[in-house]
Amino acid sequence: MLIVLSGPSGVGKGTVRQAMMADSFKDFKYSVSMTTRTPRPGEKDGVDYYFRTKEQFQQHIADGEMLEWARYVNNFYGTPLGPVNKTLDEGQDVLLEIEVNGAMQVREKCPDGVFIFLTPPDLQELKQRIEKRGTDDAATILKRMEKARNEIKMMENYDYAVVNDKVDLAVKRIESIITSEHNRVPRVIDRYRKMIGVK
Binding residues for ATP: 7-14
Q: Which residues are annotated as a binding site?
A: 7-14
Q: Are 161 and 152 in contact (CB under 8 A)?
A: no
Maximum CA extent, the chain: 65
Distances (CA, A) of 112 to 4, 62, 79, 143: 11, 25, 17, 33
Q: Are 28 and 139 in contact (CB under 8 A)?
A: no
Question: What is the sign of the dihedral through the CA atoms of 98, 103, 105 and 107?
Answer: positive
